[in-house]
Every structure is written in C-alpha cells, then in structure tokens.
Amino acid sequence: MLKLIEFKGTWVEIKLPTFDDAGHYAYALRMIFAAIEEFFNIGFDQRRLNTQLVGDVFLDALMNAAKHGNQKDLNKKIIIGLWFGRNGVLFGIQDEGDFFRKQSTKELVELQAVFASTGEDSCGIGMTNIYQADEVHVSTEENVLYVVILAESMIIKRHDG
C-alpha cells in the first residue's frame, strides 16, 4: 500500500484550528519544513529542501480537510501526523468531518492519481497539487488522507565542485 517501510519510532502530531485560507497555515508549514530538515540532517538550508513541492502538497491536503471535511467550521480541528523514514516522509491529515471517510472520496482520489500518473488533465476532484506526491492513499476507516513524499523527490542534491 504505502512505499515507506521503515518509520522513525515516534511521530509528530499537530492539532490546528480550521481556517478558510492557506495563509493561516504558514506556521504549520514552517514546522513541517523544520521537522523534515532536522530528520534528514540538511540543517535549515531551504535550498536543499524542495519547499515548493512539500508546501504545495501539504497545503492542498490541508485545505481540502478544512473545506470539505470540516466545512470551514472554525470550531473543528485538523490533526496532522508526520512519520519519518530513511526513504522519505509520510503525513496523514485527519479532519473532524467525514470527507476522507467517504468511499466516493477514496475512489476520486484513486482515479485522480491515475490521471496524474499519465499526464492527463484532472478528473475534477480539485486536489491537483497533491498528486505531485509519490503516493496518495485515503483510509476511509480512519478518516485520514495519507501522502508519501520520497526523499529523492524532496531533497535537492548538492553538486559541490
């Protein structure tokens, strides 16, 4: 199912309020960047982390949880789980609604993944940035969207001398 086999023994959980625009989630995004940089020992050199990729994927998932799962209800929370493995990072997004619990959401996410892998246009789900990730999975039982970004995709190799 998910490409990451080896995970760090602990995981990071962040609980955020629901906001209705991406700008409010900038702090959470900075925390994600810092955690990735620390785990992969690249320091705080954002020239080595593909922040565009990680930011686009993360914010797309977060905004869908806020909009469709929590229906922009400012009293509901979004839970983010981060797992780190030597091959990359896995994050899970869970809302307090039922967007990721629906079988129709799971089917649309899987269909969109097929479209994205062939270079075709979107099938209309609206989560276009998320398919830059290496793997996307919806667990209807857990009401969680899981996203895998492999290290080879997000870490920019240095070419010294």
Mean pLDDT of successive 10-residue segments in the chain (161 residues)?
44 74 77 81 72 88 88 89 83 91 89 69 61 88 91 79 43
Tell me what pLDDT residue 101 has.
93
pTM: 0.81
pLDDT at 126: 58
At residue 40, the pLDDT reads 80
The confidence score (pLDDT) of residue 143 equals 92
pLDDT of residue 36: 84
Helix (H, G, I), strand (E, B) or coil at 150: strand
Superfamily holding 13-154: Histidine kinase-like ATPase, C-terminal domain (3.30.565.10)
Beta bridge partners of 92: 81, 146
The structural domains of the chain, with segments of one domain joined by +, span 13-154
127 φ/ψ sector (left φ>0, alpha ψ -120 to 50, else beta)? beta
Q: What values do phi and psi take at 60, rounded to 5?
A: -60, -45
The predicted pLDDT at position 7 comes to 46
CB atoms closer than 10 angstroms to residue 29: 16
pLDDT at 4: 41
User: Could you tell me if 130 and 147 are in contact, meaning their C-beta atoms sit under 8 angstroms apart?
Assistant: yes
